[in-house]
Structure formats: C-alpha cells, structure tokens
Amino acid sequence: MPTESARQALSILRDGSQFQWYLITLFALVVYVYAVEVERKNWNLVLAGLAYWGMDWFNEIWNGLVFHLTNRAPVWGAPGQTAYLILIGLNIEICFMFAIAGITFAKMLPADKHLRLLGLPNRVVLAVAGSVFCVFVEVLLNAVGALTWDYPWWSAGAPWLIFLIGYLPFFAVSFWVHDIINTRRKLTVVGTIYAVNLLAVLVFGVGLNWL
C-alpha cells in the first residue's frame, strides 16, 4: 500500500489544474540563462548545465520506477504545493532549478583544472562541496514537508546515499563534460544521457505507464 505522502503526490501527478502563471517567468529565466551563455559561445557551461540537468532526469526516472515496483513509496517524493508535478519526485519548480544549477556550479570552476584546493584536485573538492550543500538543502526541504522520505536508508539520519547517489554523480558528470576538450565528444556524452532518458520515458512512461 502506498504511504500517505505517496498518495498525496499521486493525487496531483500531472494535474494541469495546478498551473500557476509564475511558471512562465521561471521558464523565461531558464531560457535567459542559457541564451546568455550561448551568446558568449560558452559551450563548456551550456553543456555542463545540460549534463547536470540530464543526470537529474535520470535519477527522477528511476525514483518513479521504485514507486511503481514497490507500490509503497518513491525514494523521495514531492507531494507539496506545486504548479505541476511531472514525476512523483519531480515538480516543475525543481526541474527548472536543476536546469540552471548545472551552469551555476560550473561557473565556480577555476579556469585551471589542475589547480589544487586543500591539497586535492579542485574538481573533486567542488563536487564534494556542491553535493554536501545540496544534501543540506534537501534536509531543510524535508524538514518543512516539501520533500518526503519514506525509507530509513535515505533520510536526514542517513544522508550518505543522498550524497553518493543523489548528487555526487551530477557534479562528477557535469564537471567532466565541462573539461572535455573536444566539443563533439561533449555533445556525444550529453546526447547519450538524454537518449537514455528519452528511451526510459518512452518505454516506462508512455509504453508501460509506470511513471
């Protein structure tokens, strides 16, 4: 049986009546952020941002599958107020935030990828720091009920998997894409991420209706 938080999320899942006009402003902000970097031909930032966003979609898809397969709860849920709940753990506000977050964090990368911070490669330090920061934000969101956790191994008391699975891969892949020298190879990596996500949505979402 689904948990109470899962039932709440299901009750508004892809419910168009939840629409709010502020979504248009958020969408315009996302477009503006990418347009600025495209205008400057900052392809490292654009593709790093898209890689980060694509990794989040990958996580959200398997999270939805966890709920379908367990019929109990997703690993994380977003049953709170939203203008549109896309997947059981992904609302439109979170989606737009992650679309920008990848560019924001990539902007913090030193130009010299060999520079060391605290005696360690700067990419490693910033990936760990960014992941810790995101876990901290999630703990706050969980505390106010905006983000729900129904499994003891994914909680404020055991944040290790949130760090290792929930965020560190986002930063690792995004920073890796940022530093790839060959633009074609960058596009191949990002394209592969989105191809996998699209295939999963088509198979598990459209075809099987598991999402």
Write out pLDDT tens, residues 71-86.
999 999 999 999 999 9
Q: With contact defined as beta carbons under 8 Å apart, do 49 and 103 qualify? A: yes
| φ/ψ bin of 177: left (φ > 0), alpha (ψ from -120 to 50), beta (otherwise) | alpha
Which residues of the chain register pLDDT less than 70?
Answer: none
What pLDDT shows up at residue 112? 96
Q: With contact defined as beta carbons under 8 Å apart, do 112 and 123 qualify? A: no
What pLDDT shows up at residue 181? 95
What pLDDT shows up at residue 204? 98
